[in-house]
């Protein structure tokens, strides 16, 4: 099967108290599937693209919940590596209304995905014309030495097979410092066909102040990567060292979201991602009762759960 996009990353379970309740007062949590690469995979599959997701998950109900959720969105989960060891990463999100601020607490240390190795990747997948694009993020590169090495191996195999690379810097201060990030993202940005980096992250990683104009940030980036397209509104860019110029490109900006909670719709006054994966969605029948097929792994026994992709993109 030829994929439009293959992505590699760590999916997480997100636990959120309903109705903006503080974490220390919570007695009920809404459980959802999160993760940058998982969101991207589900969004692209929803647009009708063929998407495969690579990761390492614990073979227990929590891991199955993640895989079945992604499968329900049309993402091919055939290539997930399953292990009886380690754990599924989680994070807690405290929604808040002003004057309180939202808060996030991560609990992902020692997760199965953080211990993924090059040997966990399906070598047969990385063949010529097996996919068009490999999508990676700085989160995977920063997650652990093992995950970083696996991402670099995937990048190498994709280059050998003439795939294009999409890279989202997605800087996380809890995972690495700006100096480490500048060094860590370099191998990916150097060869990326499409890269994403917010202005705030570029200023931080490349030692620019918060008041630095966009043009000077472009100069700083251009010193490392001459071919840069840029803009916090997806409209300003620079290509091959030329002077900054405007590009009229439609950009979607989301300022609010309507959530369904306890049979009522309420408005949340905050910026949110374009996509939110909810485990409450009903899954297509092909995902029910997914079979498990053994997969050899000398150092860590694992299995691969076969979840048939949906037959249509409707």
Read off the pLDDT of residues 96-142 as tens digits, 9 standing for 90 and up. Answer: 988 999 999 999 999 999 999 999 999 999 998 899 999 999 999 99
Contacts of 288 (CB under 8 A, 6+ apart): none
CA dist 196 and 190 (Å) reads: 13
Q: Is the pLDDT of residue 39 over 60?
A: yes
Q: Is the pLDDT of residue 177 over 80?
A: yes
User: What SS3 class is residue 143?
Assistant: helix
Give the DSSP H or E segment for 57: strand 56-58
Burial of 107 (0-12, 13-18, 19+ CB in 10 A): middle
pLDDT tens, residue by residue, 8-36: 999 999 999 999 999 999 999 999 999 99
CA dist 273 and 42 (Å) reads: 12
Q: How many residues does the chain have?
A: 314
- Contact yes or no for 311/71 (Cβ under 8 A): no
pTM for the model: 0.74
Give the DSSP H or E segment for 140: helix 138-143
Q: What pLDDT score does 230 carry?
A: 55
| Structure letter (DSSP) for residue 123 | G
For the chain, the average pLDDT equals 79
Closest CA to 61 of 82, 30, 79, 40: 82
Strands 3-8 and 264-269: unpaired
Mean local confidence (pLDDT), 180-195: 92
pLDDT tens, residue by residue, 51-89: 999 999 999 999 999 999 999 999 999 999 999 999 999
Q: Which residues pair with 293 in a beta bridge?
A: 304
Q: Is the pLDDT of residue 175 over 60?
A: yes
Give the DSSP H or E segment for 217: helix 214-224
Q: Give me the domains of the chain, ranges plus CATH numbers.
A: 3-306 (3.40.1190.20)
296, two tokens: 């050899």
Q: Which residues pair with 135 in a beta bridge?
A: 7, 166
177, two tokens: 């410092």
Contacts of 207 (CB under 8 A, 6+ apart): 178, 220
DSSP string, 24-36: GG-S--EEEEE-H
253 — pLDDT class (breaks 50, 70, 90): low
pLDDT tens, residue by residue, 261-293: 333 333 333 333 333 334 444 344 444 334 444
Q: What pLDDT score does 226 carry?
A: 58
CA dist 218 and 169 (Å) reads: 16
Q: What pLDDT score does 203 carry?
A: 86
């Amino acid at each position: 099967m030829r994929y439009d996009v293959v992505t590699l990353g760590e999916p997480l379970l997100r636990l959120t108290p309903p109705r903006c309740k503080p974490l220390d007062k919570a007695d009920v949590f809404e459980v959802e599937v999160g993760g940058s690469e998982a969101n991207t995979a589900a969004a692209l599959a929803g647009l009708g693209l063929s998407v495969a997701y690579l990761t390492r998950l614990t073979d227990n109900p929590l891991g199955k919940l993640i895989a079945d959720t992604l499968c329900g969105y049309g993402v091919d989960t055939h290539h997930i590596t399953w292990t009886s060891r380690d754990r599924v990463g989680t994070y807690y999100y405290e929604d808040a209304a002003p004057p309180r601020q939202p808060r996030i607490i991560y609990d992902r240390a020692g997760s199965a995905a953080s211990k993924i190795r090059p040997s966990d990747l399906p070598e047969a997948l990385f063949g010529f014309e097996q996919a068009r694009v490999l999508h990676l993020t700085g989160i995977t590169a920063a997650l652990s030495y093992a995950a970083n090495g696996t991402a670099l191996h995937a990048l190498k195999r994709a280059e050998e097979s003439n795939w294009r690379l999409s890279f989202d810097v997605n800087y996380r201060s809890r995972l690495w410092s700006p100096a480490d990030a500048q060094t860590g993202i370099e191998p990916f940005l150097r060869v990326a066909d499409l890269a994403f980096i917010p202005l705030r992250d570029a200023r931080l990683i490349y030692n620019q102040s918060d008041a630095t104009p966009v043009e000077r940030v472009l100069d700083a980036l251009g010193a490392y990567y001459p071919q840069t397209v840029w803009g916090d509104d997806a409209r300003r860019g620079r290509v091959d060292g030329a002077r900054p110029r405007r590009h009229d490109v439609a950009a979607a900006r989301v300022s609010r979201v309507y959530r369904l909670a306890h049979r009522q719709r309420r408005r949340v006054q905050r910026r949110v991602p374009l996509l939110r994966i909810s485990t409450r969605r009903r899954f297509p029948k092909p995902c029910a009762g997914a079979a498990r097929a053994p997969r050899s792994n000398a150092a860590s026994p694992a299995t691969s759960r076969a979840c048939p992709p949906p037959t249509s993109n409707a």
